[in-house]
Structure 1
Amino acid sequence: MTDSGRTLIIGVDGGGTGCRAAIGTPNDGVLARAEGGRANVASDFALSIKNITSTVEAAAERAGIPRAELSKAAAHIGVAGVLGPIENAQVVSGLPYGSMTVTDDRPTAVTGALGGQDGYLLSVGTGTIAAASTSGTFTYVGGWGFAVADQASGAWLGRAALEQVMLCHDGLTDHTRLTRALLSKFDDDPNAIVAFSMAAKPGDFGTLAPEIIAGAQALDPWGQSIMKKGADHLMRCLTRLGFLPGDTLCLSGGVGPHYADYLAAEFLSGRIESRGSALDGAFQLARSNLVNQLESN
């Protein structure tokens, strides 16, 4: 494919609960998308590479593109767990595409949600991204991963919920309807919670987030308190990034929009809906990277 407008481009958004891929060309845009298993290279590198590869191949099959053509494609891989040049190089060496740029999952989320415009993003899913975009430059607060950060995230909510359940079981605080419901998921057996926690990845903890959110919406006192605690952290992040009342703010991710009920009003006056997903951002960056590469040659 010598025509740059027909060159295959691939965008990948990989995170703790799943991987998404889009394939297309600069002229035609996205031809097909696919979803696959989790992809956090810090949690499980080999599984992440396997899931990225199979998800891209699934998208290619849907678009009627032979697998052999993927080796000629230009790709932007935005994947959780890329901490620096070592992980970057490992991802590049592990994937079969013609040319690649690799980042963590923050630039793709910001690019997709804000559509290349200035503003602020709180992308809260399995993990948490707090970011500002100014004239194409991104600034971040947090995003250091579940082990030491990701406050307000789905994984953080799930882990906090199980900690609360154990405190209730030990009689150190009172059960609520939500904590009793969570305990029942483990057959009312605290040892089952311990066993789960020993093997759980961030995405596993994140699977509990919908119940916590629903509990808070049903006015469960503990559910509301943990959502408020998460919102307090997110507001501190925005303030640190320089947010001012009226600035553009997008809440994205599976958990992010649910924090709108807990953020102070001054943070929401400039709120916008997401202009695109992190996968849209990855595809957009892949296209921009290809154009820049051709212009520099």
Structure 2
Amino acid sequence: MTDGYLAVDSGGSGLRIAVGALEDFGPFGDFGLFRGFGACGRGTPVRRGSREPVRTGARGIDPGHLMEQLAPLARASAAEAGVDRIAVAVVGAAGLATLGDALRAELPGALARELGTRTVALAADAVTAYAGALGFRPGAVVAAGTGLIAVGTDLTGWRRADGWGHLLGDCGGGAWIGRAGLEAALRAHDGRSGGSAPLLARATERFGPVTDLPGALYPRTDRAAVLASFAPDVACCAGGDPVAAGILRDAARHIADSAAAVCPDGDGVRVAVTGGLPKLGRALTGRLEEELADRLPRARWVPAEGDPLDGAVRIAAGLAAGPLALPDAPGMLWVTTAGGG
């Protein structure tokens, strides 16, 4: 029987998984040398995904909805990878720190029943982002996509900043940028100060009449993803629109604030930004470089070596090899076995 691993990245824009055989993992050293999946071991995992975000409700992240999507994806991927049983599963989930009680209570048992899983690691998406970006080294990582959370570690404990969701925080993230852009569009529609005619035109093109936005947006359970979908429009307008440029400038300041709040002390400590937000281009990243240099002059801003799904694979490799170098902490990283613990 071939034992395998399952790595999961669950966020505001959907679900991604990777499945491979545990025997494909080679010697790892400090886990910090690979770029992408292939160099992490001898084999490349099978990857699949879903664009449907996992629901949240009164109990937080819905473990039943997660398994509805995850189980068929995992089975199909395991069959393609030649894996008979998913022995190790690493699930990185957005909102785990504040919305993960039901997931912690129910997901390990569901994975054991459905996939034969013996060891489960539940991690905040920021932790898998950290492992993907920096490996098992001290430093700080900002996971900036639909939402935004920063985590840092000296390998003895975690520091966290933001990650409070699109209604209370995630300042500088995709939903934050999109919401600010839509606010500027509505200001222009009303004739109020701070409005942006270019953003109004973009919003109308993307969503239709802006007067219909509240009714279309507020009832949606995926409104964070819908807000974030407007962030590229803000970036496209930033070159010629001072309002859009100002939104990205403020976003860069928020991102740097969160990085500074979690970064461990020391010269040359690595800081990375991962997620989809850097893809908005120099209108954001140029400002961010300036803000990080100002706030963290002793740190080194480095490219992320991999993304959160890469990080989940790395954690699976670490679990297969022995005790993890990353610290275990409630709401951040929790490892359990089929027998509990």
Distance in 2 between the 1:17 and 1:221 partners? 29
SS at 2:160's partner residue?
strand
% identical equivalent positions: 25
- What residue in structure 2 maps to residue 48 of structure 1? 66
**Residue in structure 2 matching 1:129, options 146, 149, 168:** 149
Equivalences for residues 1-297 of structure 1 within 5 A: 1=1, 6-29=2-25, 30-42=44-56, 45=62, 46-65=64-83, 69-70=84-85, 72-82=86-96, 83=98, 84-95=100-111, 96-97=114-115, 98-99=117-118, 100-135=120-155, 137-173=157-193, 174-187=195-208, 189-200=209-220, 201=222, 202-216=224-238, 218-242=239-263, 246-256=268-278, 258=281, 259-263=284-288, 264=290, 265-266=293-294, 267=296, 270-292=300-322
Q: Which structure 1 residue ranges, 5 or more long, are not aligned?
A: none
Q: Distance in 1 between matches of 2:50 and 2:313?
A: 17
The 8 Å contact of residues 172 and 252 in structure 2, kept in 1 or not, is answered as yes
Instruction: Encode CA deviations 1:22-62: one digit per residue, 9 max, x unaligned.
Output: 11123214431112233445366244332222332342243
Matched AA of 2:211: N
Which one is further off, 6-15 or 55-64? 55-64
CA 1:138–1:243 in 2, change beyond 3 Å: closer, same or farther? closer
| Structure 1 residue 111, shift from structure 2 partner | 0.6
The Cα of 1:78 is off from its aligned counterpart by: 1.0
Code of the aligned partner of 1:27: E
Partner Cα separation in structure 2 for residue 58 and residue 199 of structure 1: 34
Deviation by residue 1:73-101 (Cα, 9 ceiling, x = unmatched): 21011112323443311333444231222
- Secondary structure of the corresponding residue to residue 168 of structure 1: helix
Task: For residue 225 of structure 1, report the CA deviation from its aligned partner.
Answer: 0.8
Name structure 2 gaps, 5 residues minimum.
26-43, 324-336
8 Å contact kept, 2:140–2:270: yes
Provide closer, same or farther for how the CA distance between residues 92 and 180 of structure 1 changes in structure 2, counting only shifts above 3 A: same
Seen in structure 2, the aligned counterparts of structure 1 residues 126 and 176 have a Cα distance that, compared at 3 Å, is same
RMSD (Å), alpha carbons: 2.6
- Mapped to 2, the partners of 1:149 and 1:121 lie a distance apart of 17
SS of alignment partner, residue 256 of structure 2: helix
For 2:70 and 2:149, the matched residues in 1 are separated by 21
Normalising by structure 2, report the TM-score: 0.75
CA distance in 2, matches of 1:49, 1:168: 44
Task: Report the Cα distance in structure 2 between the residues aligned to 1:210 and 1:175, rounded to whole angstroms.
Answer: 15
Corresponding position of 2:331: none
Matched residue count: 285
8 Å contact kept, 1:12–1:76: yes
Distance 2:78 2:158 in 1: 31
